[in-house]
Amino acid sequence: MTVHVLNPAPGEYSQTFGGVAPRLTVQPGDLVEVHTEDCFGGRITSPDQIPSRDVPASALDAVSGPIAVDDAEPGDLLAVHIVSIRPSRPYAISVALPGFGALAVTAETAMLHEPLEERVWFWDLDLDAWTGTFHARNGFTAELPLDPMYGTIGVAPASGEVRLVVVPSTHGGNMDSPELRAGTTLYLPVNVPGAMLSLGDGHARQGEGELIGSGLESAMDGVLAVDVVKGAGTDWPRYENDDYLMSTGSVRPLDDAFRVASKDMVGWVHDLTGMDVMDSYQLVSQAMLAPLANMVDPNFTFVVKMPKTALGQAGQAAYGGAHAKLAALGREYLASK
């Protein structure tokens, strides 16, 4: 078990997927302990700050990486298992940014209204009790369980494209799905030699849909296990955990994001079970869950979840059992600590 460390110094974070030289090179089967900054680059330390003034747009959502994975070639699949993810600080920050959020006018859903109020919330994190506490202006408080996740994780895009970290698309990126928690394996297409994996934008928790445009933004200390499945490919990022196979689509509008994710799942079930497409369509339709990931990023992300129990043996067979293999590696790592 080889364990690498990626702990970027200020200035060593990346602003794009694609177009960046690797900051670490690993082998398939290796683990990486990785530190990620919050989406503000750590520049918001007080609720009196104004993110739109104090954080340059170019610094938003900067990611740790890229990590080059040896032997990953275009046409292969990169499997990334999230072994653990834990907030680095006893607070998390959430914001309402002008021109951002599902219930606000944005650059794309352009209207003549003035922007909503910009506001910053500091949530108290109790890393023992594993809760976050919210304080409203009228004295109301609420405590929610933590459920840490990576908002942004992806590889270099195909065809030489370079995309801002804020964009989710076929290469992954800012998918902002709560499913990207510890225990999930993410499958990504390899578009360039080494795949060039980057990640960041951790949320101590986030509601489905990321309505306000931010979660409980938090620097994270996490551990990944990576592997390469030769020749497997995938059109869109897929996820797997112990209970579910998950397809995703990141495109506007939501109608199309849902179509992409659910069509992918029908195809995946068809491939795994050998049922014809119409039978696969039927079974997926009756068994699936469809939680919205986000409707706030430049593309919107839907996740479609298929319970493995509905697929029998076939439910364990995705990519030659890559998830089970990496999950075992993760457990081995955690046991060694």
Interface with a second copy in residues 149-168 (CB under 8 A): 159-164
Residues 108-147 vs a second copy: string with x where CB under 8 A? xxxxxxx-xx-x-x-x--------x-x-xxx-x-x-x---
Place of tokens 């992300």: 301
Between 90 and 312, name the residue whose CB sits nearer to a second copy: 312
Whether 141 contacts 135, CB under 8 Å: yes
* Stretch of residues binding a second copy (CB under 8 A), selected from 25-33, 34-42, 191-199, 259-267: 259-267
The C-alpha atoms of residue 179 and residue 176 are separated, in whole angstroms, by: 9
Q: To the nearest whole angstrom, how small is the minimum distance from the Cβ of residue 48 to a second copy?
A: 16
Cα–Cα distance, 206 to 190 (Å, whole number): 28
Element (H, E) at 326: helix 322-336
8 A C-beta contact, residue 66 and residue 20: yes
Return the residue of 6, 8, 13, 18 that touches a second copy, per CB under 8 A: 18
Select 79 or 192, whichever has its Cβ closest to a second copy.
Answer: 192
Residue in 72, 275, 322, 329 binding a second copy, rule: CB under 8 A:
275
Query: Stretches 61-69, 73-81, 206-214, 327-335: which one binds a second copy (CB under 8 A)?
Result: 206-214
Instruction: Return the residue of 235, 243, 271, 332 that touches a second copy, per CB under 8 A.
Output: 235
* CB count in 10 Å sphere of residue 128: 6
What is the smallest separation between the CB atom of 43 and a second copy, expressed in angstroms?
A: 18
What is the smallest separation between the CB atom of 328 and a second copy, expressed in angstroms?
Answer: 27
Sign of the alpha-carbon dihedral angle for 93, 13, 296, 289:
negative
* Residue count, binding to a second copy (CB under 8 A): 92
Contact 78/197 with Cβ under 8 angstroms? yes
The CA-based dihedral angle spanning residues 110, 111, 112, 118, taken in that order and rounded to the nearest 10 degrees? -70
Tell me how far apart the alpha carbons of residues 51 and 48 are, in angstroms, rounded to a whole number: 9
Q: Residues 280 to 309: which contact a second copy by CB under 8 A?
A: 281-292, 295, 300, 302, 304
Whether the CA torsion 63, 66, 67, 73 is positive or negative: it is positive
Contact positions with a second copy (CB under 8 A) in 37-76? 58
Per CB under 8 A, contacts with a second copy among 166-195 are none
Nearest to 299, CA basis, from 161, 98, 152, 190: 152
Q: Which is nearer to a second copy, 288 or 326 (CB)?
A: 288
Do residues 184 and 241 make contact, with C-beta atoms less than 8 angstroms apart?
yes
- List helix spans (H) across 206-289: 254-273, 277-287
CB of 102 to a second copy, least distance (A): 6
Q: Which stretch binds a second copy (CB under 8 A): 3-11, 37-45, 184-192, 270-278?
A: 270-278
Nearer to a second copy, 31 or 304 (CB): 304
